[in-house]
Structure 1
Amino acid sequence: MTRRYWRGPAATTLAILLTCCGSGSSLRTYVLGGPATPTIGVTSESGLPVIALKTVSVPDYLDSTDILRRTGANELTPSPEGRWGERLSQGLTHALASSLSRQLPRTVISTAVTPEPKYRIFVDIENFDIDVDGRCLIAARWRITTGDGKGWSTSEHGTFSQAAKSIDDPAIAAAMSLAVDQLATEITRSANLE
């Protein structure tokens, strides 16, 4: 049995390539919304009205962890440096629930299956665009029904825009978070949930 060992320039070139590939920069991960404000202690939610927020619906092409920028009329390009920490539908649901919770402090906003909520909120994202100049835009439809689905229903549509301070991923994530807050404010106002 003969053993062959790589020697010379081919082995050196392979070693350099493997080293370079391993030392590349890694993707940074971003989330929508800000960090939760920690409250030390226990608070009771018994007796508070519950609003069930269903998972936010987004177009299939957006429901990934890619931070997609609109680079042409029919073209989206993923950021080479960053990504969302979770699929966009989940990230939007969590950010919207957090914003609604801040705006409705005497209400429980639940994204889990809730047996008897007072209201149910359904949100359908039509556009979630990041332009090359850093303008962030969310267009959404939402519907609010009573918990059993048999009562009143309000249906609204809104478009929310926020200019990012720069075109890098941290500024885009911050601007999109502000646009989600605008959506939450309008949902709260339109259904008189305050």
Structure 2
Amino acid sequence: MPSPAGRWGERLSVGITRALTLGLTRRLPSFVVTATAPTGPPARRVLAEIESFEPRADGIVGLLARWRPLDGTGPDTLAGVRISLVEAITGPGNAAIVAAMSRAIETFTERVVAALRPAVPAARASR
């Protein structure tokens, strides 16, 4: 459902990466979370792939994504998860679509954090 008048202020991939990084940082405050290559060996890396993310004609935003944590010391994949989310578009216009997309990314972030918490080593004192 493309918007003839809507324009993004940044590439969607950049915005999703930024939102996911900020959400993980907020929810895992004792960890160093970065979207760029770490300066030292990471304890874990999270790979996220958005398969589809779009508003639909039936009044919802659909997000289909996969993510998996990697062992920071090598290429070993720990466990992968595929997530399908929907968020209602609660009003007319582009602002309502953006709000629904933001909620979907927040929910995606919450699910990643909930799955990571038991798998991560004791938090490193950093910053």
TM over 0.5: yes
Match of 2:29 among 102, 105, 112: 105
Residue number among 124, 142, 156 corresponding to 2:67 in the alignment = 142
1:119 aligns with 2:44: yes
Report SS of the residue matched to 2:6: strand
Partner of residue 10, structure 2 = 86
AA partner of residue 94 (structure 1): R
Structure 2 gaps, min length 5: none
The amino acid of 1:181's aligned partner reads: E
C-alpha separation between the residues in 2 aligned to 1:163 and 1:149? 40
TM-score, normalising length: structure 2: 0.83
In 2, are the aligned partners of 1:101 and 1:108 still within 8 Å (CA)?
Answer: yes
Kindly name which structure, 1 or 2, has the bigger radius of gyration based on alpha carbons: 1
Greater relative contact order structure (CA < 8 Å, 6+ sep): 2
Task: State the secondary structure of the residue aligned to 2:7.
Answer: strand
The TM-score, its normalising length taken from structure 1, stands at 0.56
The reply on whether 1:184 has 2:91 as its aligned counterpart is no
Superposition misfits of 4+ residues, deviation over 4 angstroms: none
Whether 1:132 aligns to 2:53 is no
Structure with the higher fraction of residues in strand conformation: 1
Q: CA RMSD in A?
A: 1.8
Cα distance in structure 2, aligned partners of 1:104 and 1:173 = 25
